[in-house]
Amino acid sequence: MYRIPHTRVAACVLAAAAVVTTAAACSDDDKDGGTAAAPATPAAPTSAAPSAAPSADQPFGPACSAVPTSGKGSFSGMSADPVATAASNNPVLSTLVGAVKQAGLVDTLNSAKNITVFAPTDEAFKKIPKATLDKVMNDKKALTAILTYHVVGQPITPSALANADEKTLNGATLKTSGSGESFTVGGTARVVCGNVHTANATVYIIDTVLMPPK
């Protein structure tokens, strides 16, 4: 009985172990010493590992779907304007924009460089009892203290949100924590649409108004 040479057996074992796309077939036909090419079993596809953090360039979060897809209020449109102007074109930030105007902070925010703004949604302001909100909105000093607590004087990237402890324009420190696309700001507010870029700021839209420590 004809025995397959050891060198050809070893070649077969190596080809199978490597799971290459094609391999030389191990034939026991010694009439011409040739081999017939045959495809090997393809390797099972591997799924890509989930990203540990959102992209440094793209907004993330469930509330991002409420942002217009075109025009001044879109992500592209907002990126061309300074932050207070950009926020005025975003339909979910109308109460915040009114508060910024009431406090006289439009020029301050628009002229700042490379800041981070944690922007409460209209729904976030609705969590505050109306009488309390009306009182604050008519107290410029108190309103300014609250709004400046939402602003950090430097950019904060999504990856840095995992464990940031930043001094705000209010003077108090604001802590953020989380991972992936789930982040908490000040221990109470959740980022619902993050990494929104304006001409001078990185914006994280949040679901709760932050109150500075007394």
Q: Where are the domains of the chain?
A: 6-39, 62-206
Strand boundaries in 75-125, DSSP class E: 115-120
DSSP run (H or E) holding 24? strand 22-24
The burial of 130, by beta-carbon neighbours within 10 Å (0-12 exposed, 13-18 middle, 19 or more buried), is given as exposed
Give me the pLDDT at residue 183, please: 97
Average pLDDT value for residue range 205-211: 98
CATH architecture of the domain formed by 62-206: Roll (2.30)
- Position 42 pLDDT exceeds 90: no
Please give the model's pTM, rounded to 2 decimal places: 0.74
| Tens-place pLDDT, residues 126-151 | 999 999 999 999 999 999 999 999 99
Confidence of residue 22 (pLDDT cuts 50, 70, 90): very low
- Position 199 pLDDT exceeds 60: yes
* Helix 130-137 / helix 94-103 crossing angle, nearest 10 deg: 40
The whole-chain average pLDDT of the chain stands at 81
| Tens-place pLDDT, residues 167-177 | 999 999 999 99
Report strand pairing: 22-24 vs 37-39.
antiparallel
Give me the pLDDT at residue 32, please: 46
Average pLDDT value for residue range 190-206: 97
Give me the pLDDT at residue 102, please: 97
Give me the pLDDT at residue 55, please: 54
